[in-house]
């Protein structure tokens, strides 16, 4: 009753009344009608209701972009509660909003916050970028320090991001894995030789030697095949 009484007179007082009474539908309506998206975003983060998140993040919500802007810019960065962050992030995942999720994670990871060094969030940012915005991965490799350096490059390789996988292995001195990316995926023995000369590790020289032998065998096999069958006009 108080909220309804206040709606026409002072929408902010109506918002406060609806927030205190957990009147979700009425609060969403009054904040949409009066472009109070910052207040709506704060309420959603604190309310932690997956069903309510699903309602406001639907594609047919004409106010969704304005709401997301306020979640990213204000509501989540203000929070210091891990549950607020966890449930908000899950809501974006459930709504299948990978680019918006990247915006959200960048705000609380790349800018100073209590969650900047959170390993799970850094992993999620890297994985989401690998799948949805590949151009950002290189920058994250340079800026992030606390993600899974064993699993992330494997997933990068699965998505064709060979250079990114190599850079992770190189940065964290996983030399055997780094040389393997160069010879097996990038397929560059020249770069493999350069890398082996720089790090000068036995396991790197061993993998490089195997790749060179494999290469010689392939050339030898082609030569024998061409000799056996003159119809194969191989260069």
Say if residues 144 and 126 touch (Cβ distance below 8 Å): yes
Give pLDDT, residue 214.
Answer: 82
Nearest Cα to Cα of residue 164 among 118, 147, 202: 147
Q: What is the pLDDT of residue 216?
A: 56
- The reported pLDDT for the residue numbered 8 is 58
pLDDT of residue 217: 47
Residue with tokens 């800018």: 111
Burial (CB < 10 A; 0-12, 13-18, 19+), residue 233, is exposed
Do 130 and 156 contact (CB within 8 A), yes or no? yes
Nearest Cα neighbor of 38 from 60, 59, 11, 5 is 11
pLDDT at residue 5, as a whole number: 46
Instruction: Report the candidate in 8, 11, 10, 61 with the shortest Cα–Cα distance to residue 71.
Output: 61
CA 199 and chain centroid, separation: 30
- Determine the pLDDT at residue 215: 75
Q: What is the mean pLDDT of each run of 10 residues along the chain (235 residues)?
A: 57 91 95 97 98 98 98 96 97 98 98 96 98 97 97 98 98 97 93 94 90 65 40 43
CA distance 177 to 143: 21
> Cβ of 184: how many Cβ atoms within 10 Å?
14
Write down the pTM of the prediction: 0.86
Rounded CA Rg of the chain = 27
Distance (Å, whole) CA 176 – CA 210: 12
Residues 6+ apart with CB under 8 A from 167: 138, 141
3-state secondary structure of 96: coil
The predicted structure's pLDDT at residue 225:
37
pLDDT of residue 212: 83
Residue 184 DSSP code: I
- The CA dihedral of 140, 145, 148, 150, to the nearest 10 degrees, is 90
Burial profile 37-61: b = 16 or more Cβ within 10 angstroms, e = fewer: bbbbbbbbbeebeeebbeebbeeee
H/E element, 67: helix 64-70
């Amino acid at each position: 009753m108080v909220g309804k009484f206040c709606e026409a007179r002072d929408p902010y007082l109506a918002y406060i009344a609806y927030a205190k009474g957990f009147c979700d539908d009425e609060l969403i309506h009054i904040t949409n009608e009066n472009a109070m998206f910052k207040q709506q975003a704060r309420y959603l983060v604190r309310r932690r209701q997956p069903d309510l998140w699903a309602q406001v993040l639907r594609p047919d919500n004409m106010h969704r972009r304005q709401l997301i802007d306020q979640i990213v810019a204000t509501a989540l960065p203000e929070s210091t509660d891990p549950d607020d962050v966890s449930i908000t992030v899950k809501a974006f995942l459930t709504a299948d909003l990978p680019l918006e999720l990247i915006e959200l994670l960048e705000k609380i990871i790349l800018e100073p916050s209590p969650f900047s060094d959170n390993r799970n969030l850094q992993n999620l940012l890297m994985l989401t970028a690998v799948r949805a915005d590949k151009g950002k991965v290189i920058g994250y490799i340079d800026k992030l320090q606390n993600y899974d350096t064993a699993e992330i490059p494997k997933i990068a390789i699965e998505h064709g991001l060979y250079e990114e996988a190599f850079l992770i292995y190189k940065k964290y001195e996983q030399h055997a894995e780094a040389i393997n990316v160069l010879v097996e995926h990038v397929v560059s023995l020249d770069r493999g030789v350069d890398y082996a000369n720089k790090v000068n590790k036995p396991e790197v020289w061993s993998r490089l030697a195997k790749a060179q032998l494999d290469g010689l065998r392939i050339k030898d096999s082609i030569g024998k095949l061409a000799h056996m069958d003159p119809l194969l006009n191989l260069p």
